[in-house]
Amino acid sequence: MTKHYDIALIGGGASGLSLLYAMHLQGVLGDYRILVLEPEAKNDNDRTWCFWTDKSDPAWQMFSSTISKSWKHNFSASKPKENMAPYQYVQIRSKDFYAFVKDVLGEYPKIEYRTEKVKQVKQGPNLQLICDSESQFSASLVFDSRPPRLEDPELIWQSFVGYRIKSPQNQFDTEVCRLMDFAVPQKNGLQFMYWLPTSVDEGLVEFTRFGDEILNEKESKPIIENYLKALGIEEWEILEKEINKIPMTLSLNSKFSYHPKSANYIPIGVRAGAVKASTGFAFKNIMDHSWEIAKALKRNEALPLPRQSAKHNYYDELLLNLFQKRDSPILKIFIRLFEKHPIDRILRFLDEKSSFREDFLIMYKMPWKPFFWSIGRSLLK
Ligand SMILES: Cc1cc2nc3c(=O)[nH]c(=O)nc-3n(C[C@H](O)[C@H](O)[C@H](O)COP(=O)(O)OP(=O)(O)OC[C@H]3O[C@@H](n4cnc5c(N)ncnc54)[C@H](O)[C@@H]3O)c2cc1C
């Protein structure tokens, strides 16, 4: 007989576990019989999440105790030590996040974890979950965080090759991080480096590309090496690698704010369109969404989709168009953004929390011609 649950989560990663933790904080987790289906043990540091925070967001409020390093200053070519106040840039290692949430969830005997990979979800009044192992379960409500299938022919990816390094030189300035440092060769899209010194002798260096061709380690390695040498770092060993990609697309976003009250299949995480299309950042949006879902469950209200801003989706669309343009002006646009504006304004804009005045200031100082081209392209689509 198929075992039935009130709620099933497909995937126990960032969105699945944060949803359970948000339900715990909202005091509703004990109300349900819950099944988590996840093929991996989730004991390793399979990724490092970074985001900026002014401490008002659910990501900070739920997970500040798992933050392993924060930076108050950013380096850019025009501003070598810019204070990011009221923001700081913070890092959570996924290993700490998984352990923290699982520890709390251990208090709930009605949550069952199974090492299973779901291959099919069959719709009906109760959803049927069929796993690769042929095990079957059913649930009244399903949250699905499997990676989405993407069919957008113009898909842009944020791809990256990152090394966590340790150097015997003991010299890193741990006060200042480097977000989007464009002092790297440009090829096949927009390329930049992150440098996040986590201690005087350890740091994460990550070479990143926004483009349709995916970065590989072979082409990234010499660029990372040259970058580290330019920072004065001559010797290092690699402790961890982070090589992956994130889709930068609006095709997963919905125009609706809520699911119908009767909906029993709810995508979450990247699958629900939580990635900000123009930056690839998703963690904060995912935490927001989890918090709002947990609140809605508590109040027995319709479940929300990830927060949307039609205005900012349109800005993202204009930027994504520019990646497709021959001789793309995207590098010039990003450099100008960092040169002409205080970083807190940029971060608020990327958080979709900027005022119309701030949006105007940002637009006013952009090179206009490419945006007219982009508006035209959008109109013709
Ligand atoms: C390496 C990496 C670094 C990132 N860094 C940042 C960052 O610094 N800042 C930021 O804002 N965003 C970042 N992101 C983007 C985003 O925040 C993460 O991808 C985040 O983990 C997405 O959460 P999720 O729940 O959608 O997916 P995941 O966290 O990947 O969770 C999905 C889970 O589903 C499981 N699963 C897959 N298939 C099945 C199946 N068939 N059945 C059952 N379970 C299945 C997977 O094993 C996984 O555990 C990063 C992404 C990656 C890949």
**Ligand 1 pocket test: which of 47, 121, 195, 266 has the largest number of ligand atoms within 8 Å of its C-beta?**
47
Q: Which helix (H) or strand (E) holds 58?
A: helix 58-63
Query: Does ligand 1 come within 6 angstroms of the Cβ of 286?
Result: yes
Expressed in angstroms and rounded, the spacing between residue 13 Cα and the centre of ligand 1 is 6
- Confidence (pLDDT) at 51: 98
**Predicted local confidence at residue 96, as pLDDT:** 98
In this structure, the residue with its CA closest to atom 16 of ligand 1 is: 282
Task: Count Cβ neighbours within 10 Å for each residue of 235-272 and write b for 16 or more, e otherwise.
Answer: ebeeeeeebeebbbbbebbeeeeebeeeebebbbbbbb
| Alpha-carbon gap, residue 292 to 303, rounded angstroms | 8
Separation CA 318–CA 330 (nearest Å)? 11
Label residue 353 exposed, middle or buried (CB < 10 Å: 0-12, 13-18, 19+): middle
| Side chain identity, residue 87 | Y
Ligand 1 in reach of 173 Cβ (< 6 A): no
Q: What is the spatial distance between Cα 156 and Cα 139, in angstroms, rounded to a whole number?
A: 35
Instruction: Give distance in angstroms: CA of 117 to centre of ligand 1.
Output: 15
**Mind listing the pLDDT tens digit of every residue in the chain (381 residues)?**
799 999 999 999 999 999 999 999 999 999 999 999 999 999 999 999 999 999 999 999 999 999 999 999 999 988 999 999 999 999 999 999 999 999 999 999 999 999 999 999 999 889 999 999 999 999 999 999 999 999 888 899 999 999 999 999 888 999 999 999 999 999 888 999 999 999 999 999 999 999 999 999 999 999 999 999 999 999 999 999 999 999 999 999 998 999 999 999 999 999 999 999 999 999 999 999 999 999 999 999 999 999 988 999 999 999 998 887 777 888 998 999 999 999 999 999 999 999 889 999 998 888 888 887 888 888 877
**pTM (whole model) above 0.95:** yes
Helix (H) and strand (E) counts in the chain: 10, 17
